[in-house]
Amino acid sequence: MKTCLLGAILCIASALVCAADCTAQGIPPRDQWGEKFNSPGAKLTFKETVREVMGDRTVVTYNLFASSLPKDQHYVLCMLGLGKEPQATTDAYLNDEGKVVNVLADPARHVAEDPIDLKVYGSKGEPFRFAIISDDGQLRAFTQIVPFPIEKTNGTCRISAVELGPYYSGVLITVTGLQPNEAFMTETHSENEGGQTNATADAQGTYRAGVFPFVKGKGSGKAGFRVSAQSCKVEIEFPWGEGSQKFQ
C-alpha cells in the first residue's frame, strides 16, 4: 500500500516511490492548478477514511476517485503543498470504480490491488492540492482537500477561509448561499486596521475575496471578515503571523 504523508510546511514521503518519468511529466505550474483546468467532464474527488492522533497532530487519511477519465491509461499522482512547488509523486491507475491506485489488481497473475492512501496533517484552513495527469499531459483532473476547515454558517450562508500563503500571509474568503447578484457590505479588520467595501455576489450567490492581513510593525495578530447582506449576516476570524501555523 502506498502512503503519502504530507505536513503543513514539510512534505514527507513515506513508502512513496517517485514516478520514473517525473521530469518528463509536464506538471502544470502553480497558476494552472484547480478544477477549471480539468479535462472536459473530468472530476477528481476524495473520501476520508480515518482520522487518528499521532503525537501532537491529527492525521487524516483519504482516497481519491476520478470520473470521466479513461481507465486504460497510466497517470502520475501530483501534489501541491502550501508554499511548495508542484511535484510528481507516484504512478497512478484507475480501477473499475475510478479509485486512484498504485497497482491494478491482476488475479490471473496473483497481483493484488495497491491503493494509494493519502495521509495529511496540517493547520486550520490549510489546503492540500492533488492532481492525476496522463503521460502526455492531455488528461488531467485536480482537487483540493482542506482537512481542518475554517468556516461558519448562518442561515443560508456559509463563509470559509483557505490559507493561500504560509502563516496566513494571504487568505481566500469564500461566501456561498447569498442571493444571485445580491449586493451587500463586507468589513475586514486586522488588529487596528480595517475597512468596509461594497460587494456583489455572482449569479450563483457566491462571493470570493483575497485578504492579506499582515499589519506593518506587528509580527502576528487576528483578522476577521464580516458579510452583512439582506439574506444573512456571517463572519469569520483567523490568526496570522508568528505562531499562527499550528498542527491540529
| Domains of the chain, earliest start first | 2-145 (no CATH), 150-241 (2.60.40.2240)
Put simply, whether the predicted model's pTM sits higher than 0.75 gets the answer yes
For residue 38, the model assigns a pLDDT of 97
Instruction: Output the tens digit of pLDDT for each of the chain's 248 residues.
Output: 555 454 432 233 333 333 433 334 578 899 999 999 999 999 999 999 999 999 999 999 999 999 999 999 999 999 999 989 999 999 999 999 999 999 988 888 888 889 999 999 999 999 999 999 999 889 999 999 999 999 999 999 999 999 999 999 999 999 999 999 999 999 999 998 999 999 999 999 999 999 999 999 999 999 999 999 999 999 999 999 999 999 99
Contacts of 10 (CB under 8 A, 6+ apart): none
Contact 103/115 with Cβ under 8 angstroms? no
151-158: long-range pairs with CB below 8 Å, 24+: 151/236, 152/234, 152/235, 152/236, 153/177, 153/234, 154/232, 154/233, 154/234, 155/231, 155/232, 155/234, 156/231, 156/232, 157/227, 157/229, 157/231, 157/232, 157/234, 158/234
Sign of the alpha-carbon torsion through 27, 28, 34, 38: negative
pLDDT in tens, 71-113: 999 999 999 999 899 999 999 999 999 999 999 888 888 888 8
d(CA 59, CA 61): 7
